[in-house]
Every structure is written in C-alpha cells, then in structure tokens.
C-alpha cells in the first residue's frame, strides 16, 4: 500500500567557511554526521555528493557535500540537526529541502 510521508534532506558542504577548502578526509565528516543522527535517535541515510555553486561575489566553487535524508521527523528536529551540522562543519549555512514522497514497502516472504 502506498502512503505519503514527510521527508527532509539536509545538504552540508565540506569546505570550511573561512578557509574555503576541505580540512579533513570525508570519512571524518561522515563519522560526525552519523554521531549527530545517533544522538538525536533518528533513522537516516546519507550520500556523499559533488557539486558546484557560485558565491555572491561570483566566485565559482566545486565542493564535496553530504546529503542527509530523514523521514517522518518534525520540522523542529530537522532544524536542530541542521544547526548542529552547520556548527560542527563550520559552515555559513546548510540547505534543507522538504518533500512529501509517496512510499511503498514491498515484502517477500521466503519459505
């Protein structure tokens, strides 16, 4: 049976906001991300992604980011997690995208 669910994706860049470069190996950032989610007792999934963007002054930057996906979590909790990640990863900001995907759980009974 298909059902609607609430989903939030938090995008966190790995470049330091002042030095404009990634200071640590990505595994260290992933470890922090996992610990944050565990501390909030929330289920999650994540992906390491690459992308590019323009600063307000027109400077183009390519950066590795983490895409964190949370399901059935309150907006308040999403904001708390996003603020922690922003602080821990020393970012100017992180981006949160909300959606309501239609999901279906498929089961197969083996026997």
- Confidence (pLDDT) at 53: 87
- Are the beta carbons of 78 and 70 closer than 8 angstroms? yes
Is the confidence at residue 111, as pLDDT, over 80? Answer: no
Mean pLDDT on 59-74: 94
Mean pLDDT on 43-60: 92
Tens-place pLDDT, residues 79-103: 999 999 999 999 999 999 999 999 8
- In angstroms, the CA 27 to CA 25 distance is 5
Nearest CA to 78 out of 34, 30, 44 is that of 44
Structural domains in the chain, CATH included, are 3-103 (3.30.70.120)
Can you list the pairs that 18-23 forms with residues at least 24 positions away whose Cβ atoms lie under 8 Å?
18/90, 20/61, 22/63, 22/64
- In angstroms, the CA 70 to CA 12 distance is 14
Tokens of 85: 């990640």
């Amino acid at each position: 049976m298909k059902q609607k669910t609430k989903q939030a994706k938090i995008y966190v860049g790995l470049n330091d906001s002042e030095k404009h470069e990634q200071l640590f190996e990505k595994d260290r950032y992933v470890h922090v991300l996992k610990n944050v989610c565990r501390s909030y007792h929330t289920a999650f999934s994540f992906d390491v992604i690459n992308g590019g963007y323009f600063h307000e002054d027109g400077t183009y930057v390519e950066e590795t980011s983490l895409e964190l996906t949370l399901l059935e979590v309150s907006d308040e909790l999403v904001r708390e997690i996003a603020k922690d990640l922003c602080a821990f990863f020393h970012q100017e900001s992180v981006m949160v995208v909300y959606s309501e995907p239609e999901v279906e759980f498929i089961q197969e009974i083996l026997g």
